[in-house]
Amino acid sequence: MTSPRFNPNLLKVPIYIAGKSVEEVQEEMGLSEVIKLASNESPVGASPQAIRAAQKMLEKAHRYPGVIDRELRCKVAARLDPDLAQHNIVLGNGGTDALRMITQAFVFDGGNTIMSRATFPMYHILTTTFGGTARFVDMRHDYRHDLDATVDLIDDDTRIVFLCTPNNPTGYIITRAEADAFMAQVPAHVIVVFDESYYDYVTDLEYADSMAYIKEGCNVLSVRSFSKTAGLANMRVGYLVGPAELADYVCHTRLPFHIGDIALASASASLDDEAYRTHHLKMMLEGRAFLESVLLEMKLNCLSSQANFVTFFDPPLEPNALVDGLLRRGIIVRGMAPFGMPNAVRVSVGSPDDNQKFIEALQQVLDSSRTEAVT
């Protein structure tokens, strides 16, 4: 029997490791109460209107998806900008699937992509999957994107530049002035992807909204998601926005029936749930301010986030040990080594009660480490 041929590109692909689940930690640690603040999920559950829509659509679970895809694209376009239409939107099985479609569409016969060294690891993973070469740009000393260095790395074989804003894991944005200066230097053959999965949490008025570039017909694609402010992470609905020509081309990578109507109906209904959205955002912004304030009071190096998480770096205890100490106390957070920041820890904004319990557990871990150091 001959051996099967393995894809050499696939063998190079690092496997994405998700944050631990509550059930996993309960089983491993023998804990009854576990708080998950590791995956930037909604602490107030899903949109009630989305839940009702999904329950109603379950009655049609025996049918293949129908017209809701088109209806949702129309609805999303209308919410984003009156100058956009359904042809500017491509839905994905989560934002990651939208990134997959973009990478598959433009990374072929080699080619390279450019990204920050500290950012969402799926850009690197997807580039490698499709046979491309990932090029990394170190952050500036202030933990922001170095867009000048990014321009310097672009060559004739660069296919995509990935820009996560707000960036995961720093929470920092790209400003309008920074984006304008960058876009003016990007060659016409390069696709610029603005991953704006956390844009709903931005309060900085200088934030660069990619829609302006898309309406100008630039080679720009924006990726957004229903996982955060709609509370639909488990439903897996995301989308990309771009000029109609680019969106139509990327559609060639879309799998048939790649999103079920149950998920699509819930996403559509969530857009009408203003009460949920207002409640969610209020809790997130207040929780973010609370965490940043207390972490700074604890003399930790806390980055000022524009997302639904807060990251602190160079803690007095080695990050993996700190994460493990919190885990043993029933608090799940994430070390940021897989995101290019081995010196950092990221905590998702939770409910007020969850945030307070995290702070108390963090103080216990730090106090315990100081005691051990003395003895």
**For the chain, domain boundaries:** 17-46+274-374, 48-270
Fold of 17-46+274-374: Aspartate Aminotransferase, domain 1 (3.90.1150)
Main-chain dihedrals φ then ψ at residue 332, nearest 5 degrees: -100, 115
CATH class of 48-270: alpha beta
Tell me what pLDDT residue 22 has: 85
Tell me what pLDDT residue 293 has: 97
pLDDT digits (tens, 9 = 90+) for 184-231: 999 999 999 999 999 999 999 999 989 999 999 999 999 999 999 899
Tell me what pLDDT residue 375 has: 57
Tokens 């309008």, located at residue: 176
Tell me what pLDDT residue 206 has: 96
Tell me what pLDDT residue 276 has: 95
Q: Angle 276-280-281 (CA atoms, 0-180°, nearest 5)?
A: 120
Which residues, in sequence order, are bridge partners of residue 294? none
Residues of the chain with pLDDT under 70: 1-2, 371-375
The pTM (predicted TM-score) of the whole model is: 0.92
Tell me what pLDDT residue 248 has: 96
pLDDT digits (tens, 9 = 90+) for 126-137: 999 999 999 999
Tell me what pLDDT residue 14 has: 75
Tell me what pLDDT residue 373 has: 59
Rounded to whole angstroms, the Cα distance separating 285 from 288 reads 5
Count of beta carbons in the 10 Å neighbourhood of residue 317: 19
